[in-house]
Structure 1
Amino acid sequence: MPAEPTLHLGHRTAAPAYPAAAGSSIVSVATGHPGSGFPEDRMPEGYTPTERDLPVINRGDTVQVPVTPEAAPAAESAPANGEGPGPLYVVGDVHGYLDELVAALRAQGLIDENGGWSAGNARLWFLGDFTDRGPDGIGVIDLVMRLSAEAAAAGGYCKALMGNHELLLIGAKRFGDTPVNSGAGTATFQAAWLLNGGQKHDMDRLQDVHLQWMSRLDAVVREDDHLLLHSDTTAYLEYGETIEDVNDTVHEILTRNDADEVWDVFRKFTKRFAFRDEGGPQAVQELLSTYGGHRIVHGHSPIPYLLGQVGTEEGEDSSGPIVDGPHVYADGLAIAMDGGVTMAGKLLVVQLPLNS
């Protein structure tokens, strides 16, 4: 098996600046296996990564379409009670980087200097993965929950999708070290959570209201002509032939509270790279023909991995990978939104549609 690429992490401010969170602490960022989340020599027993889970990515693996998003008009100019829906924005994986999220939302005019919703009837979708690896995952969730209420009051909305790290945190809290059947042995949510960058201070501050909110998140939605989902995998097809079926099935599994069932959803939603290879466009079309839309917008797989911008021969460059914006690939049918904030990349907040 080819050697795993080396990550070069840039310098980051670990202390969250907004909103202030009691009991938060400065932590080092933990990065796991970029494919499955597990370092190969520390995988829980029974976790067997598939070929698509592995971070073996060459620059020729993707169809690279340069994208220069047009400057978005100030979101706060959208009328609160205007006719029709407001502008649509999507946010890539946050992973606890609250400072970067606040800065990116302010840059798009979605929040004001005090962190309050200032975008009128704009529509904002988070693509999942709010916690783990970064310094303040619970602060991120608290911010998104508050903005959801403020946006609704202003005539817009702020909503979120369920990522694999939401499933992981729910499982770690509910099931802890209870063994689960991984399909090839046993594993535990607690071990998987720690190996995927779980932060103790997030678990300490995790409350029932956070668990309830995460458990109710949808897995797939369609907005305008975009199919939004967290993971670049076709595993969603296993949960239903309609968007409603997929979301209902995932919610029912979480409600039943069976550790093995929740693990199976987590495992499938951790798969990646279904859209980047030669058969990528066909995989995208399978999802689009089933659930509707003309483009998929996803997070989960960092753009630096999709583009092969990971590591250097010299090993001296600490500036991190270059991420200018979303990555459009798979014959223009897929948009990757995970800018690799955990590896000194960029936390992306972008208005749709993109021109390519």
Structure 2
Amino acid sequence: MPDTSPLFVASDIHGHYDALVEALRDRDLVDEDARWTGGAARLWILGDLFDRGEEGVAVVRLLRSLAEESAAEGGSVDTLIGNHEVLVLGSRRFGDVAFTDVDGQDRQFLHWWVLNGGFEDELGDLTEDEVEWLETRQVMHVADKSLLIHADTESYLGYGRSVETVNAAVRAVMSSDEPEEWWQLFRELTRRHEFLGEGGPARVRGMLRTFGGEELVHGHSTIPDTTELEPSQVTQARRYCEGLVLNVDGGVYQGGKCLVVRLD
């Protein structure tokens, strides 16, 4: 039987703990003490918990607490892996070790993480248990009629032709000690804007045929960056691509809102 409990999504928290808590509170999912009040509701964060804001570790700990509290009430809270998770975890695992990517370019995870808004204190603040939890999250998930992914790209198809296969392939990368494979995963999850323009609907329909769902829901590319709206003007998710795609990234690190969107 299909799950009829309320389904909420948010994305790209980027270390903005207070903004996330406020948005969850507005949806009656947490109380004044940031404890779960959503009952049997389901909440998915579509990746990018870290960087550009300084409380990424606090966001991780909040989500893990809410996962336990919600499960006790028949609900659930979980997060997908975004490109910034790959970057922070790669930086923690490989640091400033130099390696060469598939294009022959010299790379260092730590260098690129700092360039992308990382805070070095967070590498030491993450516990081994939290690292293991992050490394074992899914990279895509189908909930009801919605295909949930982080980035607006077809690159997931390069890792498999089913949700289970893609998640297993990404988990294998994130359990490996090969920085080149981690870097390629980071690159693939950094691609964006592939559902815009004339070819967008065909690409999305191909994703939905392959992985399931009737709509595709993503973050990664902020709504201000893909429209003429200023961050302060974004008050709701953006549906586009002939109605097939929903972008839920309000651009919190740009001064926009953290959007917690009910899908059903």
- Does structure 2 retain, via aligned residues, the 8 Å contact 1:162–1:217? yes
1:275 alignment partner, one of 195, 201, 210: 195
Residue 273 of structure 1 deviates from its aligned partner by 0.3
TM-score (norm 2): 0.96
**1:250 counterpart letter in structure 2:** V
2:251 paired residue among 312, 335, 340: 340
Separation in 1 of the partners of 2:63 and 2:196?
30
Which amino acid in the other structure matches residue 249 of structure 2?
D
What residue number does 2:25 align with? Answer: 106
Counterpart among 132, 137, 146 of residue 65 in structure 2: 146
| Counterpart Cα distance in 2 of 1:296 and 1:157 | 20
1:170-185 to structure 2, matched below 5 A, reads: 170-184=89-103, 185=105
- State the one-letter code of the partner of 1:89: F
Per-residue deviation at 1:114?
A: 1.4
Q: How does 1:230-245 map to 2 (within 5 A)?
A: 230-245=150-165
Matches within 5 A, 1:1-356: 84-184=3-103, 185-309=105-229, 320-353=231-264
Count how many residue pairs are aligned between Structure 1 and Structure 2: 262
Measured in 2, the distance between the counterparts of 1:215 and 1:85 equals 29
The alignment yields a C-alpha RMSD, in angstroms, of: 1.3
Tell me the distance in 1 between the aligned counterparts of 2:101 and 2:256. Answer: 32
The Cα shift of 1:321 comes to 4.2
The CA distance in 2 between the partners of 1:175 and 1:246, in whole Å, is: 23
Asked whether the 8 Å contact 1:85–1:121 carries over to 2, the reply is: no
Distance 2:204 2:34 in 1: 36
C-alpha separation in 1, matches of 2:3 and 2:143: 13
Note the residue ranges of structure 2 that are not aligned, 5 or more in a row. Answer: none
For 1:349 and 1:226, locate their aligned partners in 2 and report how far apart those are by CA, in whole Å: 15
SS at 2:175 equivalent: helix
**Residues of 1 paired with 2:21 and 2:79: CA distance?**
16
Percent of paired sites with the same residue = 40
User: 2:186, 2:86 → 1: CA distance?
Assistant: 6
Is the 8 Å Cα contact of residues 147 and 215 (structure 2) preserved in structure 1?
Answer: yes
Contact 2:3–2:144 (CA<8 Å) still a contact in 1?
A: no
Q: Verify the 8 A CA contact 1:138 1:206 in the aligned structure 2.
A: yes
Cα distance per residue 1:327-353 (max 9 Å; x no partner): 100111000011000110111101113
Instruction: Could you list the structure 1 runs, at least 4 aligned residues long, displaced by more than 4 angstroms after superposition.
Output: none
Letter aligned with residue 186 of structure 1: D
Secondary structure of the 1:238 match is helix
**Post-superposition offset of 1:200:** 2.3
Query: What residue ranges of structure 1 are gaps of 5+ in the alignment?
Result: 1-82, 311-319
Q: Give the distance between the partners of 1:163 and 1:302, measured in 2 at CA.
A: 14
SS at match of 2:239: strand
Whole-Å Cα distance in 1 between the matches of residues 164 and 40 of structure 2? 25
* Structure possessing the higher radius of gyration over alpha carbons: 1
The residue aligned with 1:31 is none
* CA distance in structure 1 between the partners assigned to 2:100 and 2:218 by the alignment: 28
Cα deviation 1:100-155 (Å, max 9, x = unaligned): 00000000000111111111110110101001001211000100011011111111
Contact 2:148/2:218 (8 A) holds in 1: yes
Structure of higher RCO (CA pairs closer than 8 Å, 6+ residues apart)? 1
CA apart distance, 1:291: 0.4
User: Within 2, Cα distance between the matches of 1:172 and 1:120?
Assistant: 37
Tell me which residue corresponds to 1:78: none
Compute the TM-score of the two structures, normalised by the length of structure 1.
0.72
Kindly provide the CA deviation profile for residues 300-349 of structure 1, in whole angstroms up to 9, marking residues without a partner as x. Answer: 00000110336xxxxxxxxx442111010011100001100011011110
**1:182 Cα deviation after fit:** 2.2
Look up the SS of the partner of 1:251 in the other structure: helix
Aligned to 1:67: none
CA distance in 1, matches of 2:13, 2:113: 16
Question: Following the alignment from structure 2 to structure 1, what is the Cα–Cα distance between the partners of residues 245 and 96?
Answer: 37
- Post-superposition Cα deviations, 1:224-276, rounded to whole Å, max 9, x if no partner, equal 00000000000000000100000000001111221111110111110000111
Alignment partner of 1:256: what SS?
coil
Aligned-residue offset at 1:179: 1.7
* CA distance in 1 between partners of 2:63 and 2:258 (Å): 15
